[in-house]
Amino acid sequence: MTDERRQLKDFSLERLRETLTSDGLPRWRADQIAAWVYKRGVEDPAQMTDLDLALREQLAGTWSFEALTVESVARSTDGTTKGLLRAADGAAIEAVVIPEEDRNTLCVSTQVGCPLACSFCATGAMGFTRNLSTAEIIDQVCRMREVLPPGRELTNVVFMGMGEPLLNLSAVLEAVRLLVEPRAFGFAPRRVTVSTAGIVPKIGELLDGLPGPVNLAVSLHAVTDRLRDELVPINRKFPLERLLGTLRSLPHLGPRRPIFFEYTLLAGVNDAPEDAHGLVRLLRGLPYKLNLIPMNPHDDAPYGAPTREAIDAFMGVLSAARVTTTLRRSRGDDIDAACGQLAARPTRIAGVALEEGSSPDARRPKCPPGEPSAPEDSADALRDR
């Protein structure tokens, strides 16, 4: 049966205030409800004890508080946790938590599959089914914080999972508003990163709509149109000159808000020193930081991982040019959770734990801290992935 109730997590706090006001309730009730759902992790109106009984019954009858269920949880030997999540229509998506000593970064999906068909990406090989709703994006945060080990909290969120965020921009913007809203999740804007493969007409719209200095990441992967056409087919529509020209023209970006360029190193394809020199020339004059990602092999791509010697030579060129560069260490590749491996398929088990579902009794809120004492870039939080 179809649930005709409105999905609460589809609404930013301001939209929820407006909606409750139109329903005859005071605006401040939205703040109370948001505190229960996003800060305390309570999704049953019956447990919202500072609301009167009539209102709790009204909420239960008119609003739905959960958009996803946890089908299984895979835990890597390195501590990375991947959740296979199921939507009401049966669609499957994946979300991944990458733990570090001082943070836990959640990688969320924005689409079921992906229409961009990047040749090295397992998600692209799935094809595209549909966009996720705001509630389905936000519920990844709610569901994944419940499966963290005791004492751990989500500290960063990156829109780098399944799908192209800028092709689902309205839902992504509404989700980001909830993430950074102090009365909701309360993430500092610099702890949130939105990525794109280069949907040029939407980049300015994204930056105009973001609430605060949320990070922008751009998946580059090649320094010539000829190669990028093959690796990232959207380049045929928005080639490098247009992409980089747009980035140069945007007033939102600068030394205090650089672009994070993602570059996947593919053995014998784009990992030579001349590619590194080309990268330096291509990006000259832009405010940026570079994230290098050694290829994580999977069955849907013909590419291999670069050798340690190739990585060192590539990074040597960048170091000599004084390019701020981070090399991501592969995380979660034993459970198909590493960058480029998400495909919502059964996890191959190699000495990892696989848990079925999530007990509601085990749910506990994992609220992020407030504004950090020193700004910290979300894209940098993936440096060891």
pLDDT in tens, 87-135: 999 999 999 999 888 899 999 999 999 999 998 888 878 889 999 999 9
pLDDT digits (tens, 9 = 90+) for 355-369: 666 444 444 444 443
Residue 165 lies in a domain: yes
pLDDT class for 222, splitting at 50, 70, 90?
very high
Whether 50 and 138 map to the same domain: the answer is: no
Residues with a catalytic annotation lie at 94, 339
Report how many helices (DSSP H) and strands (DSSP E) the chain contains, helices first: 11, 15
**357 lies in a domain?**
yes
Q: Does residue 317 register a pLDDT over 80? A: yes
Of 214-218, 255-259, 302-306, the range with the lowest mean pLDDT is 302-306
Judged against a pLDDT cut of 70, whether residue 26 lies above it is answered with yes
Structure confidence at residue 341 (pLDDT): 46
Q: Which of 64, 82, 97 is the last residue of a domain?
A: 64
- Look at 51-65, 70-84, 333-347 and tell me which has the smallest mean pLDDT: 333-347
Residues 15 and 95 in one domain: no
Could you tell me if 179 and 324 lie in one domain? Answer: yes
Contact 141, 96 (CB under 8 A): no
Q: For residue 339, what pLDDT is reported?
A: 57
Domain extent for 261: 68-382
Residue 245 and residue 203 share a domain: yes
Write down which residue in 64, 79, 102 finishes a domain: 64
Q: Is residue 77 part of a domain?
A: yes
- Would 145 be classed as within a structural domain? yes
CATH number at residue 21: 1.10.150.530
| DSSP codes, 23-54 | TT--THHHHHHHIIIIIS----GGG-TTS-HH
Same-domain pairing of 107 and 36: no
Domain contains 72: yes
Q: What is the CATH number of the domain that holds 218?
A: 3.20.20.70
Give residue 376's identity as a one-letter amino acid code: E
Same domain, 34 and 74: no
Q: Do residue 166 and residue 19 come from a single domain?
A: no
pLDDT at position 121 is 87
Q: Is residue 1 part of a domain?
A: no
State in Å, rounded, how far the first CA of the chain is from the last one. Answer: 41
Kindly report the average pLDDT of the chain as a whole number. 87
| Domain boundary residue, one of 15, 43, 64 | 64
Is the domain of 179 the same as that of 207? yes
- Give 180-222 as a DSSP string: H-TTTT---GGGEEEEES--HHHHHHHHHHSSS--EEEEE---
Per the DSSP assignment, residues forming a β-bridge with 260 are 217, 289
Q: What is the rounded distance in angstroms from the CA atom of residue 28 to the CA atom of residue 280? A: 52
- On whether residue 318 sits in a domain, the answer given is yes
Cα–Cα separations (whole angstroms), residue 155 to 293, 312, 377: 22, 31, 11
Same domain, 212 and 258: yes
Q: Are residues 172 and 47 in the same domain?
A: no
pTM: 0.87
User: What is the rounded average pLDDT of the residues 270-287?
Assistant: 97
Q: How many CB atoms lie within 10 A of CB 82?
A: 28
Which of 324 and 345 is assigned the larger pLDDT?
324
- Does residue 50 sit in the same domain as residue 89? no
Tokens of 159: 């829109």
Tell whether 200 is covered by a domain. Answer: yes
- Look at the chain and report how many structural domains it folds into: 2
The answer to whether 265 touches 154, Cβ cutoff 8 Å, is: no
Task: Tell me, yes or no, whether 248 and 338 share the same domain.
Answer: yes
